[in-house]
Amino acid sequence: MTIDIAGLAAAALQQVSTELALPEPIRLSDETDLFAQVDSFTIVDLLLETEQQLEAALGRYVPLGDEAVFDAEKSPLRRWANWVAHIGARCHDA
């Protein structure tokens, strides 16, 4: 089964933005540094929302959180394209 990971990731971010009523809309491009724009608690919400949407799409749980996600230097959320690639890699591993 193939899914549009980039679309799913963007939809998850949009859902979190809406639920948390984030003050500024986040403009997405491959270079977007999400880590710099939101706090760690929003990242928690983003991981949970993305995992839920992945589980609904794939029918299985795909864990996205690891020691790198919250690391200021190594986080894939430092660059949106890296985050999408991170999700893809996790889907492949799971």
Contact positions vs other proteins (CB under 8 A): 19-20, 41, 44-45, 47-49, 51-52, 61, 63, 65-67, 69-70
Q: Provide the token pair at 5.
A: 């990971």
Closer of 1 and 41 to other proteins (Cβ): 41
What are the CA-CA distances from residue 46 to residues 1, 38, 43, 83 (Å)? 23, 10, 5, 11
Residue with tokens 């799409």: 57
On whether the CB atoms of residues 29 and 80 are closer than 8 A, the answer is: yes
For residues 30 and 61, which CB has a smaller minimum distance to other proteins in the complex?
Answer: 61
Shortest distance (Å) from residue 3 CB to other proteins: 18
- To other proteins, the closest distance from the beta carbon of 92 in angstroms equals 16
Closest approach, Cβ 9 to other proteins, in A, equals 15
Nearer to other proteins, 65 or 88 (CB): 65
Q: Residue 7 region, left (φ>0) first, then alpha (ψ -120 to 50), else beta?
A: alpha
